[in-house]
Structure 1
């Protein structure tokens, strides 16, 4: 067994039979050096910015040092980094190494990690909390922090919708281990005096667990594992991200595995985007999305704000906080289309992609808010037809913005570098587009296609649910095609003529670049809107910002 010098030796307690099993499964073998470099580069440029679970400078120091005395890297962590890189590495690099497809390469690399994680548990059904316990029993990896890093990277695999290959399974295991390691507590409250580097990585690991938990819930509707009352870790800030440094190696060595090459501005931008993503995720409720805990207070948002005693208040409060978040975004975190000059060395566009994903998540939150407000069936009465159509207008605005963000990503063929959770956002937006009235089929199909092209590209690396199941309009849903006429008739019977300010053409025929949608809202009688939505915060910047 020959491994690079920078790989930490396996634990001495591993027995011969177990080692033989690992060898037979290829768990301790590595690809050619050329493919290793390509996979590490893909990970550093495209995966690490989404979930910064490792100390990047320390990792690069380990694998590029030439004196053979630098700290070493866990084999399990290194294998998981290589596996993560297969999602976005150039297909030419994989084919040169003998792989026919991206999925076949991913399957082999992911199996190397899973063999170590799941050996000895094939017949147990005790759930994800016991995955790493059995890993310890196998003596393959004894460092709990490394285990959490590996599990978080495995949660991005998206191999199957359910079971031990699903992202849910690995994410649940990572969160369980994070609680076991007390990452959910402020070290000062535990009386721990830890080095600054250790503190940084602990805090980032916790917030990576938290953000992934919320983003999965946002995209799938799955109940979050982490409750707002479960932790006391303060919000992340830029100081939690170590400055990029060339320790024990020069810039030329780092450039072989990292396109950013230590750009201070790029690292500051990525840190800013991560903190803004966390602020957004803190707004998303763990159970039902629209009902945050009435007694939970955290930095910048007080969920204990008193509101009117009606069922609309959770929705109004969430809408208010989302609008405030959007309006307060720093300039460098505001959305703009990906431009050619933003593509760095070898097409790296980490900042542009993370900025795009941040706004995909925000628009998905807005879409969910208005979609939830409409209810789950036509029998669910949310108020007047005016209110129904206003919700549909804003819901379609959010879906349209998701589509055009996806179009910008697809134009530069960056879909494989996008956070895999974006697939769920694209599917939700596409479903909304396909529920629009028959007379606008062309518009709806165009916007659907913008999302579908990115989904099809991501399908090279990830499991994508059936289109027919997710994109076909449901007869029981309050889609525009049947709500519009029925609700208008009901409104007319109760209240007279529907206000001209929201005509059917204004409701559906809007240009997402800003003008027509903004005019439709601007021409509304705002007193009427305020009467329907007490405390409504229709964000002019969101409605009018060009894409």
Structure 2
């Protein structure tokens, strides 16, 4: 890999280049080195940012004419890219946040920060190498950064280990901010395939964030008057269910428009909060209600089946959820979806057999020996199933998944 060579050959002295290489390698999954995973490389990129001082605004005290506008734009873009990865990896890996925004005064990114480096390119160069709708895609990126700030607040309020218990007013205030997030217009006409996909992808992030926010409050209650506790918790559960249903609608649009081929490595984890919500709903109601909820989950499983053609982690998620479904529906067939990779098995790298390290990060699993249903218990699968079936938290599932 080019980025790995740039980082490891020892000849590169430009710290910005090393930062960029680390950030890009955060999307690469090693077959050999346990440490060479998204968490490691993103942490390296964040460290480079802070060593270089990119977490501070270079124009705070006095404008430095030796720093060009292009440099300022690049530095701002790199910092906020690291911030975005920190927040979403914190959620999807169940790990603490590395960036504290109280230590940073970098202004929020602008659409122009994404366009600065292409101003000098010829029309032929732009047409050959970049999408024509870069201004629109840049706006989507800014929306994701704004949303990521809110996600950080959600993780601190609901999942931080030593967090103070929030009040009803705290929860209501954060909810208002979440509902005010800027989002693309899903019904805008005339969009290209790329714009359609990324418009929907921003919404996938948003629904995952809403589920992450609402789910704990379906079982917990903040400080305050507990007189209407049950009604309040019921409303929060309904809101989480609605966000999960919205996720299914987004997936339906992506499938109908044949856009799943544009999915990136972040797409499979974004489906997990909705899948867990559907799974938990399968435990309640009469047989018809349970079947309807199972159908919603199966839609997500079918999309995961398609995504696993590119991302092995999707087959891991399918295997985990198939095992969980069978706990609720013992007669549920593990072979219901036809694929070259069995949904009730998880692959183990390098033909070494199942080990705890090989499941430390599900995204690192590659083709090799298979781990069947009976092996879940030996690898802590009972804890994983307990976390997956926990009514309160999507975060506990990520933590359990990464501790296997």
Q: Same fold (TM over 0.5)?
A: yes
For 1:454, the equivalent position in structure 2 comes to 303
1:359 aligns with 2:203: yes
Q: How far does residue 220 in structure 1 lie from its aligned partner after superposition?
A: 3.7
CA radius of gyration, larger in = 1
For 1:342, the equivalent position in structure 2 comes to 191
Q: How far does residue 386 in structure 1 lie from its aligned partner after superposition?
A: 2.4
1:113/1:196 CA distance change after superposition, 3 Å: closer
Q: How far does residue 198 in structure 1 lie from its aligned partner after superposition?
A: 1.1
Q: Describe how 1:107-256 pairs up with structure 2 within 5 A.
A: 110=1, 113-114=3-4, 117=7, 135=8, 138-158=9-29, 163-189=34-60, 192-193=64-65, 194-242=67-115, 247=120, 249=122, 251-256=123-128
Q: Identify unmatched segments of 5+ residues in structure 2.
A: 326-384, 393-404
For 1:279, the equivalent position in structure 2 comes to 146
Q: Describe how 1:409-428 pairs up with structure 2 within 5 A.
A: 409-428=254-273
User: TM-score w.r.t. structure 1 length?
Assistant: 0.51
Identify the match of residue 312 of structure 1 among 143, 162, 168: 168
The separation in 1 between residues aligned to 2:33 and 2:278, in whole angstroms, is 27
Match of 1:225, SS state, is: coil
Q: How far does residue 403 in structure 1 lie from its aligned partner after superposition?
A: 1.6
For 1:370, the equivalent position in structure 2 comes to 214
Q: 431-440 vs 156-165, which deviates more?
A: 156-165
Match of 2:59, SS state, is: coil
The separation in 1 between residues aligned to 2:275 and 2:185, in whole angstroms, is 21
Q: CA RMSD in A?
A: 3.3
Match of 2:295, SS state, is: helix
In 2, are the aligned partners of 1:399 and 1:429 still within 8 Å (CA)?
yes
1:396 aligns with 2:241: yes
1:311/1:253 CA distance change after superposition, 3 Å: closer
In 1, are the aligned partners of 2:91 and 2:155 still within 8 Å (CA)?
no
Q: How far does residue 159 in structure 1 lie from its aligned partner after superposition?
A: 5.5
Q: Identify unmatched segments of 5+ residues in structure 1.
A: 1-109, 118-134, 261-265, 294-308, 344-348, 481-547
Q: How far does residue 376 in structure 1 lie from its aligned partner after superposition?
A: 7.8
Count the aligned residue pairs.
314
The separation in 1 between residues aligned to 2:239 and 2:53, in whole angstroms, is 41
